[in-house]
Structures are given as structure tokens and as C-alpha cells.
Structure 1
Amino acid sequence: MSASSATLEIRGVSRRFGKNTAVSAIDLSIPQGQMVGIIGRSGAGKSTLLRMINRLIDPSQGSIFFDGAEVSRLRGSPLRRWQRDCAMIFQQFNLVPRLDVLTNVLLGRLNHRSTFSNLLGMFTRAECAEAVAALERLDIARTALQPAGTLSGGQQQRVAIARALMQQPKVLLADEPIASLDPLNAKVVMDSLQDINLREGITVVTNLHTLDTARTYCNRIIGMAAGKIVFDGPPEALNREAVRQVYGADSNGAEISEAITSTSIAYKQKIEASASPLEPAFPGY
């Protein structure tokens, strides 16, 4: 199987924490080049699933394959190579605040270098140029020499994306990348992830709380509830019944309003302009 057609396969994967099952018997196939949004309530198992794919935690049961290789069995240097090829972006950014932005981005090269080079802490001129180019692509090159901790949340998330690009990944996982961002910064971050997906053909799998964002940016949406997949399809198939399967109902048995999952500017303006607080922003949902 060629790298351009490499598929991520998840077969019967479960994860238990003591007596609690966070992910239950997931079967999923993601062809190379898709941009997939995973939606669901908090605690649905979205983050656990991504962490198993990246091998930050191991499955309790089942197997994960990429390009025909079983990555769920990898240990040592093969595991480090997989975590290089499968980059992870976190909601909390996971930058080193006291280091400058450029150095934080260059840390994405560590798994491409020898241990000796890493101990010396020296990066080549070519690596520095690549890091600057990644920052320019994300429109934050002007911050290159600032301590990462002095940046805004949206800027820090873009630095995290630039660091992931330095890994030259085949798969990019993003765990709630816009959950702590305002709508404008959320758009910048999602535009960046979509650009990476379209220009490089890199598979992007991202957990999202916002249905409008998933519909706008993802060509496939996976809905999770109680650790299981309850919806898997294109954005146009995410109708009223599908949303109910994913999010259920409130304590009174009424359907969850799609508006409460949204951070988009358009949604907020529509809600604020509504004549009645009980009137749904989008009557079809």
C-alpha cells in the first residue's frame, strides 16, 4: 500500500479505566486525505480514541493499523516513529512557555534527529528555515523570538500546529483544538487545519464540540455517545435525528438545541437577534 493511499484502521478497539468503559468496540476506517470531525458530549470517548490512535494510551482490546502495520503493538523506536508520523495537537497547546516560539516549533524535529544531535541542542540552518516557513504559513512569523508563554491562546495554538508540521506527519490529530478560543481565532485555526489537509493531503482527525464547525470544515463526521459510534457520514446527513442520537435529550426529554454547541459568529448573531429566547436559531434542528 502506498503512502498516498495509506488507511488508518481501527478494529474492535475498546478502552477501560477500572470498571468504566470509555471506548467500546470501535470499528473505523479512515482513508488517507480525509478531514474527519468527531463530535459528541463531554465524556463520550472522543479524546480517549485519539490518544489511543497516537499511542499515548494503549487499547484494552482491539488493534490499530496504519498502512498495513499494526501500530497498537509498537514499542521503543518504532513507536516513536509512529508518534512522529501521527502528530497530535492538544487543547492546552503543550508548548514550553519560557522557550521562544521558534525553538518550540523546532522541537517538532526531535524524532527526526539522532540522540547526539538532540543532546547538543543544535538545529541546522535548513531546520530553522523550515520552522520560519511554517510560522509564516500560519501568519505568526513575527512572534518567532517571543517566549511562547507571552502569546494569546489563538497564537499559541498556531505555534502548536507549526510544530506538528515540522514532524512531517502522515496523520494529524487535533484534540479539541478550538475549545478555549474565541470565534475569530477558532476560524483561523480551523482554516489552517483545512489548508494542511487540502494542500498536503494529510489525514486530519479532530474532536469538536461545535456542529457548525464540523459541517463547515469536515468532509466526514463521526458522532460518539457513551463510548460508541452512533453516527458516521457526510455533513449533509447530520440531520435532526442524527443530532439527537449523538447528544440525546435534556433532563425534560426535549431535544438539545444545536445552538448550544456552536461558537460561530453567525450563530451567535442569530441567537442574539432572536425575538424569543425559546425560539430555536435554526428551526430545522
Structure 2
Amino acid sequence: MRFHLKNVTRQFGQHVAVDSVTLEIPAGQMVGVIGRSGAGKSTLLRMINRLVDPSSGSIHFGDTEVSALRGQGLRNWQRDCAMIFQQFNLVPRLDVLTNVLLGRLNHRSTALSILNIFTREERIMAIAALERLGIEQAALQPAGTLSGGQQQRVAIARALMQSPKMVLADEPIASLDPLNAKIVMDALKDINEREGITVITNLHTLDTARNYCERIVGMARGRVVFDGPPNELTAEAVHAIYGSDRDGAGIDESMTSTSINIASAKPLASATPSAGVGTLAVAEA
């Protein structure tokens, strides 16, 4: 079932955040959207999920015009199109298991949701999702006590509980260290490959987009300026997406890397068993 955006534009007052974007995405693709901050990436994903309405243009999923949905139809779409946020959007005081079960709310009656009654099958499903993400041991901990990487895995497990047809991830690794970033991206790739679910993720890091995504969409000033496979993301394409630095030089891709540089890792002079045995060389975006 193809997903199609046709001339989609979003304006905030006089500012055009997304400018006449047209994309066609076949079912089962893993797409990385890259670009500078303010390029329109997050607004694009929020329009797809209908957290923000397009100012003009249309969004279609198969025969359904997503941009025209209202009421129950819109709620059904937001159930089928799961959203993963950079800031996790968990309920800190609730335990991890309950946070994951909240992904079932749009599959249930209002009465059951209000009473917070979940079936045995739903609880088994939630535990299975946590096991898949390797975080089942934290099921009864308050979500607010977990690390950022753990919370993002909980958010992915919650998205799985929606039984989605599409997963949108808005900068899912922007606030994570390289090890947790890899765990999260591996999980998204596994969902894409094992279930055949379309995954669209906004990324700041070129190496991550190259390694995980079969298709890369580059945005600049609200427009799509690149659309193709990773091997076509040349230096010229990177320049079109990111422009030049203040001295007019091209962007060094290593500036956007979150890779763990094992070769250059050096032992810490005063390492303790809890501190580890080496350093991670990381260039932050």
C-alpha cells in the first residue's frame, strides 16, 4: 500500500516550513529524512501523522486521503501511523509496563480506557514487546527512573502495541549516546525488516542514514533537494542539503557522525571498573 504526499505545504504565518513536497513511498521502505535544523523535517512528519494539518496539498495512504480525515477516521490513522518522539513522551510516574500498554488505547473502548483495564492478552503482548527491545527487566519500574536510551526503547515498544502500518520516528537518537543510538536504530530496522512496516525517520547523522536507510530524502528550506539511495548521496548532494560553513567550505561528514571510533579509543588514566576501560571518540552533530 503506497504512501503519497502531493504538493504538501505548511505555513506558520508568513513562514513556509514545508514547501510543495511531493513524495511517493512504497510499503516496507525504511526512509531517512536528513537536513539542517529548521529544514522542515519534523513538520513533515507531524503532517503525516496529522498532528499538524497541511496548509495545502494532500496526503494519501492507499485509497485513503489522510489529509481529509476527521473524527474516528483520524484517530484510526494515528493508531495505524505510530509516532516516536525525540523526548519519548512517556508518563514518568507510571511503570514501564503501563506506559507500553497505553499503546493499545485506540484499539479499546472508552470505558475500558478510563478504567485502565487491560486484558491478559494485552499484558502478554506488552511483555513480549519489552523482551524484543531487551528491557523487560524494567517492566515494573517508574518510566522516569530509566536512562534516555531505555526510555526510547520503551517508546518503541509502545509504538509496537499499536500494531501500526507505518512508524514515524522524529529524531529518535538525537539525545542518545552512540551505544544507545545503535540499539534504537537496530530496533527500528528490525521492525522494518521483520514486519515489513514502513519506517520514516528524521536523522541528523549522515552515517546513520547511510547505514540503516535504503532511501534518503534530503531537505533544505522546506523543500526536497535530494531523494535517492545512500550510494547516490554524493558530496554535491550533501552540499545541496547542508550548504557550506561560514568560510564557504563544504560540510565535513564526520561532523555529523555518531559512530563509535574503537580504533582511536584510548584507556582512561584513572579508569575504575564502573567507568569502563576506554573512551568513546564521538563527533556530535
Q: TM-score, normalised by structure 1?
A: 0.92
Task: Please state if 1:212 is matched with 2:207.
Answer: yes
Task: Quote the Cα distance in structure 1 between the aligned partners of 2:34 and 2:62.
Answer: 25
Task: Quote the Cα distance in structure 2 between the aligned partners of 1:44 and 1:97.
Answer: 31
Deviation at 1:271, TM superposition (A): 10
Task: Please state if 1:130 is matched with 2:125.
Answer: yes
Deviation at 1:68, TM superposition (A): 1.4
Task: State the AA in 1 paired with 2:116.
Answer: G
Task: Please state if 1:15 is matched with 2:22.
Answer: no
Aligned residues: 266
Task: Quote the Cα distance in structure 2 between the aligned partners of 1:270 and 1:143.
Answer: 34
Task: Please state if 1:121 is matched with 2:121.
Answer: no
Question: What corresponds to 2:163 in structure 1?
Answer: 168
Task: Quote the Cα distance in structure 1 between the aligned partners of 2:173 and 2:114.
Answer: 34
Match of 2:43 among 40, 44, 48: 48
Task: Quote the Cα distance in structure 2 between the aligned partners of 1:43 and 1:256.
Answer: 17
Question: What corresponds to 1:275 in structure 2?
Answer: none
SS where residue 78 of structure 1 aligns? helix
* Pairing of 1:249-268 with structure 2 (within 5 A): 249-266=244-261
Match of 1:97 among 88, 92, 101: 92
Of 183-192 and 113-122, more deviation after overlay is shown by 113-122
Task: Please state if 1:248 is matched with 2:243.
Answer: yes
SS where residue 244 of structure 1 aligns? helix
Question: What corresponds to 1:62 in structure 2?
Answer: 57
Task: State the AA in 2 paired with 1:223.
Answer: G
Deviation at 1:262, TM superposition (A): 1.0
Question: What corresponds to 1:3 in structure 2?
Answer: none
Task: Please state if 1:178 is matched with 2:173.
Answer: yes
Deviation at 1:41, TM superposition (A): 0.2
Task: Quote the Cα distance in structure 2 between the aligned partners of 1:73 and 1:106.
Answer: 29
Task: Please state if 1:139 is matched with 2:134.
Answer: yes
SS where residue 252 of structure 1 aligns? coil
Task: Quote the Cα distance in structure 1 between the aligned partners of 2:256 and 2:209.
Answer: 11
Task: State the AA in 2 paired with 1:262.
Answer: S
Deviation at 1:270, TM superposition (A): 6.2
Deviation at 1:139, TM superposition (A): 0.3
SS where residue 56 of structure 1 aligns? coil
Task: State the AA in 2 paired with 1:156.
Answer: Q
Structure 2 residue runs without a partner (length 5+): 267-285
Q: What is the aligned-residue identity percentage? A: 71
Match of 2:152 among 157, 175, 193: 157
Change (3 A) 1:99 1:260: same
* Pairing of 1:179-194 with structure 2 (within 5 A): 179-194=174-189
Task: Quote the Cα distance in structure 2 between the aligned partners of 1:119 and 1:246.
Answer: 46
Q: Which 4+ residue blocks in structure 1 deviate beyond 4 angstroms?
A: 268-272
* Pairing of 1:69-108 with structure 2 (within 5 A): 69-108=64-103
Task: State the AA in 2 paired with 1:240.
Answer: A
SS where residue 95 of structure 1 aligns? coil
Task: Quote the Cα distance in structure 1 between the aligned partners of 2:238 and 2:90.
Answer: 35
Task: Quote the Cα distance in structure 2 between the aligned partners of 1:151 and 1:60.
Answer: 39
Deviation at 1:251, TM superposition (A): 1.1
Deviation at 1:264, TM superposition (A): 1.1
Q: TM-score, normalised by structure 2?
A: 0.92
Deviation at 1:67, TM superposition (A): 1.3
Change (3 A) 1:229 1:219: same
